């Protein structure tokens, strides 16, 4: 490892480390504009010049472009280097508008810092300043080109790192311009990152514009909960209002960046209609009063109908604490355990995925970047979990082969092989690829079960065009040194998570190394699957209500009206209830129907934790104390000068604390009393679920704690002999309905964001050209789709990147798709009409 | 009259045909190479001939070819650079209009040496006529069997196309040119990797100036010693196309032995200075070289000779200024060009050159201050720390103006006007 000396301090670094990074490890921060650790060096701004006094490189050179080498003696304070850096800053400031007082970057601006640090104070340039026209870049990003210092970071992120082309460099020389060919909403779902990485105020956060200086905000580390990946974020809050999110660096999860759904999805927490008071029917009451009333009702039902007459639904967007307390609550009361999943199929899929993910196979997003072959099954990353697409793109940039087996019209910002097959064909298509690349002897070495799996799995995919493409893909897979399987859990069959895990085991046996990455539907789906011991689903609860065995229903941060496939049936069931109790922070449909409502705190108001799809237990600190945003009660005037002890609208409490209080009232004498201490709750979790025993709940925010179910307990290769090549004998007269996601417009919390609502696409139904021509339908025609409980009207989109024999309908906030009796949905072809 | 090698078929009014080129020995080198010589042997001949790159840097062509590793992957590319945009330089255009097949044969031979399968002739947009000529003559060469699959029964296959540039000075820089061909911004790219390892489409790529390549057939046919003997000086070899412009009687492009003294070029070949004019200075090799004053009038015009007087041969484009020309104004004109043509990638070039231009403009227009001079010196020195050789080249006329003609600059400042303007 090279050893070098910087400003008299010696340091040893790994080969390939740049001098600028080596210096940073010594605490010497060499100025930089173009260099960004996530994007790498490029040598454009020239402000990181240092003097190389001894060693293989001599003279003033860029520290970002020079690898640390043995024997280097580097001076960052050398007169010539410092003078050059000062000149670079002077040149950059020639045309800068000096509009810091009205610039949102002011106060955390790299250009401001380095201008002061570099000692450039007196303007020597006598000429006129160059000016530019700014562009409208959409609802997220404010453009102010005059501030630009042409560091190229935005263009490098947008085009090279993220793979989108609509923002880039135009013009040359001192007219170099960063923007779009014409005004318009940025197309990339990662566009907000250019705000974070811009070293000055060219791109600023539009929704939070002019809301405060960096030091005005309460800022803290938190987590993104708008998909299952759990990216790390920094919150900013002011005047009892969440104002802005930025990416927080995470070594294992998201690196330096986040997606726009994560960045602009948080507005549910400030939502003007957010319920902030407890209610009995429509009457607002104090939280204590509501708890007392609820306790009485619960005791009545329990006495009359027994402990099993009240069912509880939790949700996968709720934190570990809420999920755990709800389970503990039910166990102490002798109730049935709470349910976290809409349908039994979903429960089973998620539980299987969680059971099969072990320490050796599980890979993080950052490890995906290092894979040389990625095989995604039933996953649509840009729409389901955008940051995964960004990680896959980094693998692509490192020359990985990427294959997606999915019936939906999957788009990714890079070249990949898409095998659009029907949902029933996902498994045979996957195993055909694996068998093509893994020799039978590898399975043989793994034992009888593996061999049975190998021998009984379909070896060939019968559809000729796809089969031909698979030949080339298997060749690549045979050469892979690090293949990773990504498996979705939304559209796949119940057995697919097992087949994916078994495939990964075979690949590991054959290639020496392999990874497995499950995608789940929500931020804490993994936690819910770990904690809940039953495989019950909302479907079972609805049936019990219909049968009359369940009289009361308690929802904890759950809105089944959004996700349950049959709205009418659910509504009728809820109408039958004697007690309908809802705890939430969203102005959800369920909240409106509640007999008793309790306002809970959002992630930003409490200390909390989530388990991402990789089994990573992650912690978030509270951003602020909650309450109604001052802007909402002062009508834009000067902040009110009203003095009171409480926080207006600050009655919300963590759902788990409300549950604890409720439990302590209804519990019979002699039963366990619940504490309101988070540590006490965590010691209960650790006791009941030993895999959580090693999770530290200290103040620090660990990035590397994963919980996986014990090794060797699970039966491997359970799907041996079960993989059908069934879908291949497809009925021609029906189309299977496959549900999809939109990046914006599907995920529950972010659909409450007024900014994301502006960038949603219109709801539509996707169909393959083959099926469309059989039906005589044209692209962009309005059509009606018959479902079990009525028809749905929407626009038809004909795309050739999807499987024939299926129709794809992304769930959309504006689409009342909940008219389905049971999965899978087959639609008779003739029934789809204009 | 010196022997004419590159211009041997140059006609006053038309382009040499393939037959005329063949009559003069054209395509014999290719035939010999494909039948008798291995690529390595051709390469060695060019190394022995000390063929220095004519694009400006003078890097030996044979060594550049050698840097393509024997086991480098395929396909490999060869690019012929006709993005001639150095002010005062027009030799490439004349070559394309004089004897296009010499360019084609030189390119094929270079392709043979590095086992390239595709050649690309990169032509600047203002040279549309050159592009059309080359396209037409490439077709003729194809029909004659000098291009395509298994050329003349050998196992060497080579295709050649003309690529029209979007047009920018920086496209003449090799790595920027490669980016431009790929449809990307014409930004230079520092090694590693070198273009000969990973260039066009990440494949091994060799890029040569056309004047370099036209010499290759002659070296193959006549040998390295003959080629060395063409030059006037020991350190150099071959002939050079000198483009003379400015205040001379016969501006034009002259093929002369490498190392011909400047005085001889100007006074004999270019017909001396205009009546009433005296030699004050010249730029010896295009805009990115230093002003050369009377004291160096006898310099031998080759890479070594100009290095000795701390200047550069560049493209060999001699721009002559007389005693009535304001050199501050001339420098301002050059800097205007460089400011406009900067690719905009790195700070010193993009922002520093406009600063320098502003100061020069003020001096030329009577708004100059003595304190500008140390600023100019400092900034020009800092230009050498920019990303590529563009900004250092741009600073050379300014630095040499300040060094060789300080009185003229001071006069502008003290008189608060340009002394050459009434």
- What sections of A283-412 are H helices per DSSP? 287-305, 320-333, 344-356, 365-368, 381-384, 386-397
User: Looking at chain B, which residue has its C-alpha nearest residue A152?
Assistant: B345
Contact B358 A83 (CB under 8 A): no
The tens digit of pLDDT for each residue in A737-792 reads 999 999 999 999 999 999 999 999 999 999 999 999 999 999 999 999 999 999 99
Contact B358 A126 (CB under 8 A): yes
Å between B341 CA and nearest CA of chain A: 6
Residue in B345, B351, B378 closest to A92 by CB: B351
Query: Does residue B167 sit in the same domain as residue B78?
Result: yes
Residue in B345, B355, B362 closest to A91 by CB: B355
Domain boundary among B273, B291, B322: B322
CATH match for A278-340+536-601+652-692 among 3.90.25.10, 3.40.309.10, 3.40.50.740, 3.40.50.300: 3.40.50.740
Q: Considering the domain boundaries, does residue B422 fall inside one?
A: no
3-state secondary structure A496-538: HHHHHHHHHHHHHHHHCCCEEEECCCCCCHHHHHHHCCCCCCH
Residues in chain B within 8 Å Cβ distance of A60: 385
**A370, burial (CB in 10 Å: exposed 0-12, middle 13-18, buried 19+):** middle
Which residues, in sequence order, are CB contacts of A285 under 8 Å at separation 6+? A277, A278, A279, A293
**What's the ipTM?**
0.95
CATH number, span A348-525: 3.40.228.10
* Closest residue by Cα to residue A626 from A267, A263, A239: A239
Q: Count CB neighbours of B170 within 10 A.
A: 26
Residues in chain A within 8 Å Cβ distance of B346: 43-46
What is the token pair recorded at A221? 């580390």
Can you give the residue range of the structural domain that contains B409? 327-415
Task: Fill in the DSSP letter of residue A62.
Answer: E
Residue in B168, B362, B375 closest to A172 by CB: B168
Report d(CA A33, CA A46) in Å as an integer: 8
Any idea what the CATH number is for the domain that residue B104 is in? 3.40.50.11540
Which residues, in sequence order, are CB contacts of A32 under 8 Å at separation 6+? A20, A45, A47, A48, A64
Contact A46 B354 (CB under 8 A): no
Distances (CA, A) of A70 to A41, A279, B298: 20, 70, 47
Contact B344 A43 (CB under 8 A): no
Would you kindly state where each structural domain of chain A is located, as residue ranges? 3-93, 278-340+536-601+652-692, 348-525, 730-831
Q: How many CA atoms lie within 13 A of A816 on its CB side?
A: 10
Decide if B329 contacts B360 (C-beta within 8 A). Answer: no
Å between B401 CA and nearest CA of chain A: 21
Q: Considering the domain boundaries, does residue B12 fall inside one?
A: no
What is the token pair recorded at B72? 């480098």
Report d(CA B177, CA A257) in Å as an integer: 33
Which residues, in sequence order, are CB contacts of A571 under 8 Å at separation 6+? A561
Task: Indicate yes or no: pTM above 0.90.
Answer: yes
Report d(CA A267, CA A261) in Å as an integer: 11
Assign a CATH topology to domain A3-93. Ubiquitin-like (UB roll) (3.10.20)
Domain count, chain B: 3
* Closest residue by Cα to residue A671 from A338, A333, A337: A333
Any idea what the CATH number is for the domain that residue B391 is in? 1.20.1440.230
Contact B354 A171 (CB under 8 A): no
CATH number, span A730-831: 2.40.40.20
CA B292 to chain centre: 19
Domain boundary among B163, B196, B227: B227
Q: From first to last of its 422 residues, what are the pLDDT tens digits of chain B?
A: 899 999 999 999 999 999 999 999 999 999 999 999 999 999 999 999 999 999 888 999 999 999 999 999 999 999 999 999 999 999 999 999 999 999 999 999 999 999 999 999 999 999 999 999 999 999 999 999 999 999 999 999 999 999 999 989 999 999 999 999 999 999 999 989 999 999 999 999 999 999 999 999 999 999 999 999 999 999 999 999 999 999 999 999 999 999 999 999 999 999 999 999 999 999 999 999 999 999 999 999 999 999 999 999 999 999 999 999 999 999 999 999 999 999 999 999 999 999 999 999 999 999 999 999 999 999 999 999 999 999 999 999 999 999 999 999 999 999 999 999 97
With bands split at pLDDT 50, 70 and 90, how would you rate the model's confidence at A727? Answer: low
With bands split at pLDDT 50, 70 and 90, how would you rate the model's confidence at A700? Answer: low
Query: Does residue B133 sit in the same domain as residue B210?
Result: yes
3-class state of residue A171 by DSSP: coil
Contact B385 A94 (CB under 8 A): no
User: Looking at chain A, which residue has its C-alpha nearest residue B390?
Assistant: A173
């Amino acid at each position: 490892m090279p050893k070098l000396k910087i400003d008299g301090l010696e340091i040893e670094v790994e080969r390939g480390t740049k001098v600028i990074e080596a210096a940073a490890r010594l605490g010497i921060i060499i100025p930089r504009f173009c260099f960004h650790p996530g994007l790498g060096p490029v040598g454009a701004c020239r402000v990181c010049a240092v003097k190389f006094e001894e060693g293989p490189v001599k003279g003033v050179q860029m520290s970002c472009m020079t690898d640390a080498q043995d024997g280097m003696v580097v001076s960052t304070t050398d007169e010539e280097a410092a003078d050059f850096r000062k000149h670079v800053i002077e040149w950059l400031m020639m045309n800068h508008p000096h509009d810091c007082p009205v610039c949102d970057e002011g106060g955390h601006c790299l250009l401001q810092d380095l201008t002061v640090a570099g000692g450039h104070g007196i303007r020597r340039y006598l000429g006129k300043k160059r000016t530019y026209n700014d562009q409208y870049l959409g609802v997220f990003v404010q453009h102010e080109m005059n501030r630009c210092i042409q560091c190229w970071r935005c263009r490098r992120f947008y085009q090279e790192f993220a793979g989108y082309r609509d923002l880039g460099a135009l013009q040359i020389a001192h007219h170099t311009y960063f923007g779009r060919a014409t005004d318009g909403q940025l197309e990339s779902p990662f566009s907000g990152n250019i705000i974070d990485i811009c070293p000055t105020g060219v791109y600023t956060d539009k929704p939070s514009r002019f809301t405060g200086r960096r030091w005005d905000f309460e800022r803290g580390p938190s987590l993104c909960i708008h998909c299952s990946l759990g990216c790390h974020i920094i919150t900013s809050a002011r005047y009892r209002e969440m104002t802005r999110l930025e990416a927080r660096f995470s070594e294992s999860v998201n690196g330096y960046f986040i997606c726009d759904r994560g960045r602009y999805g948080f507005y549910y927490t400030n939502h003007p209609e957010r319920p902030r008071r407890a209610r009995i029917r429509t009457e607002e009451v104090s939280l204590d009063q509501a708890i007392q009333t609820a306790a009485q009702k619960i005791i009545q039902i329990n006495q009359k109908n027994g402990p099993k007459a009240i069912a509880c639904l939790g949700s996968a967007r709720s934190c570990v604490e809420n999920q755990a307390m709800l389970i503990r609550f039910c166990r102490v009361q002798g109730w049935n355990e709470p349910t976290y999943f809409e349908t039994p199929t979903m429960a089973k899929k998620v539980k299987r995925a969680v059971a099969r993910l072990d320490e050796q196979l599980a890979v993080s997003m950052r490890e995906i970047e290092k894979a040389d072959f990625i095989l995604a099954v039933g996953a649509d990353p840009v729409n389901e979990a955008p940051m995964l697409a960004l990680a896959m793109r980094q693998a692509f940039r490192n020359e990985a082969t990427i294959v997606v087996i999915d019936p939906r019209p999957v788009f990714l910002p890079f070249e990949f092989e898409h095998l659009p097959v029907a949902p029933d064909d996902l498994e045979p298509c996957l195993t055909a690829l694996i068998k093509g690349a893994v020799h039978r002897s590898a399975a043989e070495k793994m034992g009888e079960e593996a061999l049975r799996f190998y021998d009984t799995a379909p070896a060939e995919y019968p559809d000729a065009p796809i089969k031909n493409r698979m030949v080339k893909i298997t060749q690549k897979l045979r050469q892979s040194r690090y293949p990773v399987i990504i498996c979705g859990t939304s559209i796949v069959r119940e057995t697919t998570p097992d087949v994916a895990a078994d495939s990964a085991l075979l690949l590991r046996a054959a290639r020496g190394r392999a990874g497995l990455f499950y995608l789940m539907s929500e931020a804490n789906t993994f936690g819910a699957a770990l904690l809940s011991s039953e495989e019950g689903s909302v479907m079972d609860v609805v049936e019990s209500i219909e049968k009359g065995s369940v009289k009361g229903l308690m929802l904890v941060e759950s809105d089944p009206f959004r996700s349950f496939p049959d709205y009418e049936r659910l509504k009728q069931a809820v109408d039958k209830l004697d007690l309908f109790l809802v705890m939430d922070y969203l102005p959800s449909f369920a909240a409106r129907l509640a007999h008793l409502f309790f306002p809970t705190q959002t992630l930003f108001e409490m200390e909390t934790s989530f388990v991402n799809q990789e089994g990573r237990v992650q912690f978030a600190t509270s951003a602020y104390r909650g309450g109604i945003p001052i802007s909402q009660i002062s009508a834009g005037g000067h902040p009110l000068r009203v003095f009171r002890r409480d926080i207006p609208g600050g009655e919300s409490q963590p759902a788990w604390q409300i549950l604890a209080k409720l439990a302590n009232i209804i519990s019979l004498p002699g039963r366990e009393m619940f504490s309101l201490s988070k540590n006490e709750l965590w010691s209960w979790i650790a006791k009941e679920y030993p895999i959580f025993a090693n999770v530290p709940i200290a103040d620090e925010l660990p990035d590397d704690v994963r919980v996986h179910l014990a090794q060797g307990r699970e039966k491997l290769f359970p799907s041996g002999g079960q993989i059908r090549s069934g879908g291949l004998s497809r009925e021609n007269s029906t189309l299977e309905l496959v549900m999809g996601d939109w990046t914006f417009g599907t995920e529950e919390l972010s659909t409450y964001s007024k900014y994301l609502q502006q960038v949603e696409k219109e709801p539509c139904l996707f169909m393959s050209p083959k099926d469309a021509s059989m039906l005589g339908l044209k692209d962009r025609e309005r059509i009606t789709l018959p479902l079990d409980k009525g028809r749905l009207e929407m626009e038809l989109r004909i795309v050739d990147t999807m499987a024939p024999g299926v129709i794809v309908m992304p769930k959309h906030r504006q689409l009342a798709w909940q008219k389905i009796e049971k999965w899978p949905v087959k639609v008779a072809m003739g029934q789809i009409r204009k | 009259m010196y022997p004419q090698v590159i211009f041997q078929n140059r006609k006053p009014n038309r382009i040499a045909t393939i037959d005329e080129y063949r009559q003069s020995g054209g395509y014999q080198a290719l035939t010999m190479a494909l039948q008798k010589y291995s690529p390595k042997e051709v390469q060695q001949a060019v190394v022995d001939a000390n063929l220095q790159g004519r694009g400006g840097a003078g890097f030996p062509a044979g060594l550049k070819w050698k840097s393509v590793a024997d086991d480098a992957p395929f396909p490999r590319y060869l690019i012929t650079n006709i993005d001639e945009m150095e002010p005062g330089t027009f030799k490439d255009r004349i070559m394309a209009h004089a004897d296009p097949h010499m360019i084609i044969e030189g390119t094929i031979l270079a392709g043979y040496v590095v086992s390239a399968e595709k050649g690309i002739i990169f032509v600047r947009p203002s040279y549309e006529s050159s592009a059309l000529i080359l396209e037409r003559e490439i077709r003729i060469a194809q029909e004659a069997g000098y291009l395509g699959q298994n050329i003349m029964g050998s196992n060497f296959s080579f295709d050649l196309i003309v690529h029209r540039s979007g047009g920018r000075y920086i496209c003449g820089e090799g790595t920027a040119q490669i980016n431009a061909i790929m449809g990307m911004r014409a930004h230079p790219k520092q090694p590693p990797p070198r273009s000969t390892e990973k260039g066009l489409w990440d494949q091994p790529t060799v890029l040569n100036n056309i004047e370099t390549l036209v010499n290759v057939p002659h070296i193959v046919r006549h040998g390295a010693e003959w080629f060395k003997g063409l030059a006037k000086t020991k350190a150099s070899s071959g002939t050079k196309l000198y483009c003379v412009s400015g205040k001379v009687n016969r501006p034009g492009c002259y093929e002369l032995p490498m190392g011909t003294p400047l005085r001889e070029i100007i006074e004999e070949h270019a017909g001396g200075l205009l009546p009433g004019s005296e030699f004050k200075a010249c730029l010896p090799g295009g805009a990115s070289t230093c002003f050369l004053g009377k004291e160096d009038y006898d310099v031998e015009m080759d890479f070594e000779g100009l290095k000795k007087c701390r200047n550069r041969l560049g493209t060999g484009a001699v721009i002559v200024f007389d005693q009535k020309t304001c050199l501050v104004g001339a420098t301002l004109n050059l800097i205007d060009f460089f400011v406009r043509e900067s690719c905009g990638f790195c700070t010193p070039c993009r922002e520093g050159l406009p600063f320098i231009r502003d100061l020069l403009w003020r001096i030329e227009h009577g708004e100059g201050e003595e304190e500008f001079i140390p600023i100019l010196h400092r900034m020009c020195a800092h230009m050498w720390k920019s990303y590529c050789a563009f900004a250092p080249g741009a600073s050379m006329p300014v630095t040499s103006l300040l060094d060789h003609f300080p009185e003229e600059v001071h006069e502008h400042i003290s008189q608060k006007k340009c002394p050459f303007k009434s």
